[in-house]
Amino acid sequence: MPPRALPRTLPKSAPSPSPTFKPGRSYPEQQRAAAHLPKLPILYDDAAVVAVDKPYGLVSQAGKTDALSIEDYLPGLNTSYGLPPPHPLHRLDRSTTGVLLLSRNPSAASTLSRQFRQHTIQKTYLALAQRSASPRRTQDTEGLCRAPLRVGAEGRVRVLEDKKDKGESDVAETEWKELGHHPELNLSLLLLRPKTGRKHQLRAHCAHLGLPILGDRLHGIAALTPALRALHKKSDKQIFLHARELAFQRWEKTPQGKAKMRWISVKAPIPKAWRPLLERAGFMGFEELQEDWGSAETKVVEGEVVGELD
């Protein structure tokens, strides 16, 4: 039996689409409690798209393990507009926190998936990293990393040292900037903007630069400095990589029947687990960290009218 097509229009009983949202809103308490699930904040919500703040440890796609995944939350996401549950449009590693985007209907899924493939969607990450002792570590504090990446037979991502062996599928680019560094802790705050979407791209590129992400045992330094371990008991397990902001394009139908394109930028709050490290390193004053802790932010940038909607 073929799958039932998702409705492309809202039922009469549902509210009309609106760019308004409630930062930090959580799933209905009864549904969450019945499933024994922890709360998952919603950062943005409309009739076509929903963005959630993925915590550390939550899997983006259910697998062979019994680990809690975003799919466990999908039934609770269909309450706002009376539509079937949404589906994730991309993945974040289990250890990565921050903005995760989901679609509510096939049209939105098609449009946004195309933006992901064409790298139109703008993604900004923050990471806490350590400077390695390797003589190959970059001496720059910002730049564009173009190191090609390939997934090996064992599933581990590695940088291709011989660029003659590089294929189109190996191309990977990341804009990066070291916002600050604390020598005693050997702790750096990095701003990362991936231009491609390869597996473990940010982790592999940071390690290649000699700035491995804190807690990354696969690509980076296994042992933390004593000063860092004293600040955070879970530092040996947690990877400090956060999907801080995601900006995507959305169509909006005006009262005159015109199609207006606008940018929607969704920003996830900095994880509270980062705060002791940020305060100790003196990073709290950076503009990239300015916000009310525990709150979300969504910015809508209006675009020009570009055509008609049917």
Catalogue the active-site residues: 93
CA dihedral 158, 161, 162, 163 (to 10 degrees): 80
Classify each residue of 221-237 as buried b or exposed e, where b means 16 or more C-beta atoms within 10 Å of its C-beta.
beebbeebeebbeebee
Q: How far lies 262's CA from each of 42, 173, 253, 267, 298, in Å?
A: 20, 26, 11, 16, 13
Measure the CA–CA gap between 294 and 286, rounded to whole angstroms: 17
Structure tokens at 29: 């308490």
Measure the CA–CA gap between 45 and 50, rounded to whole angstroms: 4
The count of C-alpha atoms lying within 13 angstroms of the C-alpha of 81, restricted to the half-sphere facing its C-beta, is 22
Helices (H) and strands (E) in the chain, counts: 5, 14
Q: Closest by alpha carbon to 268, among 46, 110, 55, 121?
A: 55
